[in-house]
Structure 1
Amino acid sequence: MTNGMIISIHLNDYLYFKNVDVYFDKGLNVFTGETGAGKSLLLDVLGILLGLTSGRVDNYNADVVVELPQDYPDYEINSGENIFSITKKNGRTIFKVNGRVFPKNIVSEILNNIISMHRQNSHLKFLESNFLISVLDEVAQNYNLLSKFSKLYSQYKSLLLLLKSENLEELKRRKSELEIYIEEIEKVNPNPVEEQELEEKYKVALNLQQNIQNYNELLNMCENVSSEIWAMKKVSPDKFMAQIDAAFDIIETMKLDIQRELSNIEEYDVSEIEEKIWDYNSLKRKYGPTIEDVLRNYEQFKKQFNEITSKIELLENSNEKVQKFKRRLEDLGAMLTKRRKETASIILNTFIKHARDLNLNADLDIVFENSQMTSRGFDKVEIVGRMIKNEPLKPIRNIASGGELSRLMLALELSIASGGVLIFDEIDAGISGETGNKLAEKLKEVSKKYQVIVVTHLPQIAVRADKHFVVTREEEVGIVKELSEKEKIKELKRMVGSEDVLSFIDKVE
């Protein structure tokens, strides 16, 4: 996670919150109010944008202004203030950044880089091995190593699936069959334009003999006419000579044109045309019914040929290849495990300090177990601990109460936080008294490094707020108000439930 902050939230329409604006501070931002006022509803929009929830209402419209610490050139999103919008109407949810529509996963990906959200019972996700592994990978920055492993794992699984589902000899038979089809089509090299030209030539060729006979008769007639004109020239007066010469030129030109047509016709090789047409018809019978169909099937044959060739290459010496894949995966998996264990050790060292600050006398450990290979490696990870010294370490879910488990996971979350925004929705559930005070001190300490947003019922936390908002409902309309110093005192009195709040404030301050 990198640095960044939430600047504001605008709820145009979310249940009973209409046209509500909330402007946050860099430090500790606290929401308080009566139970049922809708404090957690204010965080719903952030949960939707982060991909953690789908929301609690069918139609809504909201904007969140976020200061991003880095550019996202692939999405043309720059660092600085950006507006993340979300609208749900008629069952369709639209996500936008600066007015441009984006897929939900891209919006969630960007915001998850700077925002970590802890809701009631969300700490339970730390009890899931896959989630804990993803946390360790994020802190260890295993992105490149994990990408290599995942890609290689995919290839390995594809090879195993291929071995299970394909027969090498059958693939070779099919490849030979496709090779014959491809060669047969390529030998003819069909073309729709050429087919049309062949049909036209064949029509001409069918009338070839009659045309030759007709042209020869015309040539004979022209010769006779030329002889007669020549005879006329000998006996005609000079005044008719120009007309006779013109007539003679016309006939001679006609003879040349007829001879040219005869030459073109004689170039037609009827047997060659018939053979080519036969080849076309043969292809259409096998792979048609049209030449366009033949060409489409040809492309499909080539695609299948290439796919089968790749499969054959994989299957040949497959046992050796499987072993090679396994060795490479085991090497990469060992590197992942090593980096995860080193990261777990660093996190646990930090956890001890946070746990003590939260009044937790607990020992915690992250244990690794070698498991069946998955796309994330060979690790199964679990958090174990003990609340009583010298007791054996047990799965944390079996040794801690709800409040203790919540604080344990808070301490763990604080141990992995590396910047940005930390959001806690009623993290104080099951906590009171001195432990609540410790929690308040911890949140105030953390807010010096990160922006912290908290929904709470504890006055110990509220009194330390850099910005204190109270949430109320009046006639089914939600109101969010930023409190002044005097208004904070009034709200703290309400939270404590007696006038003793003033002495309490003096004491903690």
Structure 2
Amino acid sequence: MIERFFLKDYLSFKEVELSLYGGLVVFTGPSGSGKSILINSILSSLGNSSCEANICESSTSWEFDADEYGLESDDINIFKHIKKEKSRYFINNQSVSKKAMQDISSNHLRHLSLKDYSDFENENLINIIDTRIGKKSNKISDLKDRYKASFLEHKRLKFELDKIEEEEKKIVELKEFAKFEIEKIEQVNPKKDEDLELLEIKKELSKKEKVLESLSYANEIFNSEHNVFSALNALDVDSSFFSDAMNELRATLDGAEEKFSALDEVDVEEVLNRLEELSDLKRRYGSIEEALEYKENKKAELEKYENIEITKDELQKQVSILNSEVNTLANELSALREKELPLFEKDLNSYLKELYLRDCSVSIKEIPNSEFGKDEIAIVLNNTSLDKISTGEFNRLRLAILAIKSENMDKNGGVLMLDEIDANLSGEESMSVAKVLKKLSKHFQIFVISHQPQLTSMGDQHFLVKKIDDESKVVELDFDSRIDEIARIISGDKITPEAKKFARELLEG
């Protein structure tokens, strides 16, 4: 709840400080005294409106996740709007954006001055009906948990399946491309460093004839080998060094001759063609190693595409099973809601009768499965859709929805701000609104501007807004002062004894 409000320098208000209680807080006063301005400044202090006040500040007992907004929280959290050259917003003296303040306060505060359809949204109506069912049986709580888990899992897997099916044609094309690339490389079937070896062979082939001719001349040295041995012996010189040298030379020349003779079996055209094939791969992939790596990557891709098809088959089976499970659970939920619907409609119409409205009809129609089942709740007032009814009817119907919802509320519902909800209503209608608001005030702190004695008399706290010398003042009224103010509302500035008597009866009643 809002426990304190402070306002400084806003239009006709110089300074206002209010200590606030729970329940129904009523603001009254003559026309033009500043009641709506005051309500607007309270909203502005919480980021839900804008005003030109120097300072407007609300102290609340609201709990929120301060860490999410990088704030420090306390038992009492102070929301402040300061306007000098520009608007600035603070929570517990820490600067925040207006949006952050709005996000926090929206979880605790609702301004019901406009046609806000959120109370008639399907999720809200479904939750009201389900809560009513849950008070009679715990079955629906477990059923909703199982349905939601199955629905969300079905939704997740269906999204994956749809994604695969959307890309299926693309995957087929990618598979064909991967196969083509693999086959193209495998047709060449390159080996690591094969191009280097072939280039060496090509080089050797180019000098084969010249080398073999040189070898034939070099081999003639062995024809004079015995002459060298004879000369060395004649000189008494050890000939072993010469023998070793000649053996090494013979091995070298024989090896070279054998190597080049082996090239006789090499087809030069095949070597050149092979080098051309490898050169094409190198131009495309950069090197033989990169071509081989690319081939392995494409094989891995191909395997992945094959696995996607397997995954698709598995997903189709899981989605089918979950779809059946979701439909079964949705049908069970619908059966429970269909059974509760007439009771909900009856209780809602009891409130509408109390609010001097004609009956409404509540129906369920089937829609595609959502997080809440397959049901959509529709409310029609006196055979008229909600967007066609008057603002007064809309507000009273909304009060009936809030009232029926509050019957099963386990915790405080926050703050409701209403601006002249009983305007243009008869005395009986005003009293009916007052009674419903009084019931709601057990679960909400309600701020309301009233021009009717019935609603005013129901207030747990009553503030009079009045102007003195063009300055607006706000005064909390005691019992006797409330009698005078309600009597003024009844009879005008000239208060009659009958008006005071009726005012006292209202308050004591």
Report the TM-score when normalising by structure 2.
0.58
Question: What secondary structure is seen at the aligned counterpart in 2 of 1:40?
Answer: helix
- Once residues 19 and 144 of structure 1 are traced to their aligned partners in structure 2, the CA distance between those partners, rounded to angstroms, is 55
Question: What secondary structure is seen at the aligned counterpart in 2 of 1:470?
Answer: strand
User: Aligned match of 1:326 in 307, 323, 327?
Assistant: 323
Per the alignment, residue 419 of structure 2 pairs with: 425
Deviation of 1:473 after TM superposition, in Å, equals: 5.5
Task: Encode CA deviations 1:161-187: one digit per residue, 9 max, x unaligned.
Answer: 5523553324546888999xxxxxxxx
Per the alignment, residue 395 of structure 2 pairs with: 406
Amino acid at match of 1:84: F
Deviation of 1:58 after TM superposition, in Å, equals: 7.4
CA contact (8 A) 1:370 1:378 kept: yes
Query: Is residue 2:35 matched to residue 1:39?
Result: yes
Amino acid at match of 2:172: E
Gaps of 5+ in 2: 135-140, 183-281, 288-297
Per the alignment, residue 83 of structure 1 pairs with: 78
| Cα distance change on mapping 1:495 and 1:306 into 2, 3 Å | farther
Query: Is residue 2:444 matched to residue 1:441?
Result: no
Per the alignment, residue 386 of structure 2 pairs with: 397
Per the alignment, residue 348 of structure 2 pairs with: 351
Deviation of 1:446 after TM superposition, in Å, equals: 3.9
Task: Encode CA deviations 1:387-415: one digit per residue, 9 max, x unaligned.
Answer: xxxxxxx3453896543443232122111
CA contact (8 A) 1:150 1:376 kept: no
- Once residues 43 and 89 of structure 1 are traced to their aligned partners in structure 2, the CA distance between those partners, rounded to angstroms, is 21
Deviation of 1:367 after TM superposition, in Å, equals: 1.2
CA contact (8 A) 2:415 2:446 kept: yes
Amino acid at match of 2:437: L
Per the alignment, residue 29 of structure 1 pairs with: 25
CA contact (8 A) 2:487 2:502 kept: no
**What is the aligned-residue RMSD (CA, Å)?**
5.3
Task: Encode CA deviations 1:137-181: one digit per residue, 9 max, x unaligned.
Answer: 7887868965763564355345335523553324546888999xx
User: Aligned match of 1:505 in 497, 503, 509?
Assistant: 503
CA contact (8 A) 2:46 2:81 kept: no
CA contact (8 A) 2:362 2:379 kept: yes
CA contact (8 A) 1:39 1:455 kept: yes
Question: What secondary structure is seen at the aligned counterpart in 1 of 2:459?
Answer: coil
Per the alignment, residue 64 of structure 1 pairs with: 58
Task: Encode CA deviations 1:240-266: one digit per residue, 9 max, x unaligned.
Answer: xxxxxxxxxxxxxxxxxxxxxxxxxxx
User: Aligned match of 1:164 in 147, 163, 166?
Assistant: 166
Per the alignment, residue 363 of structure 1 pairs with: 359
- Once residues 310 and 331 of structure 1 are traced to their aligned partners in structure 2, the CA distance between those partners, rounded to angstroms, is 31
How many equivalent residue pairs? 385
Question: What secondary structure is seen at the aligned counterpart in 2 of 1:160?
Answer: helix
Report the TM-score when normalising by structure 1.
0.58
Amino acid at match of 1:467: Q
Deviation of 1:29 after TM superposition, in Å, equals: 0.9
Percent identity (aligned): 25
CA contact (8 A) 1:28 1:447 kept: yes
Gaps of 5+ in 1: 180-281, 288-300, 387-393
User: Aligned match of 1:149 in 151, 173, 191?
Assistant: 151
- Once residues 331 and 178 of structure 2 are traced to their aligned partners in structure 1, the CA distance between those partners, rounded to angstroms, is 40
Which of 1 and 2 has greater Rg?
2
Amino acid at match of 2:463: F
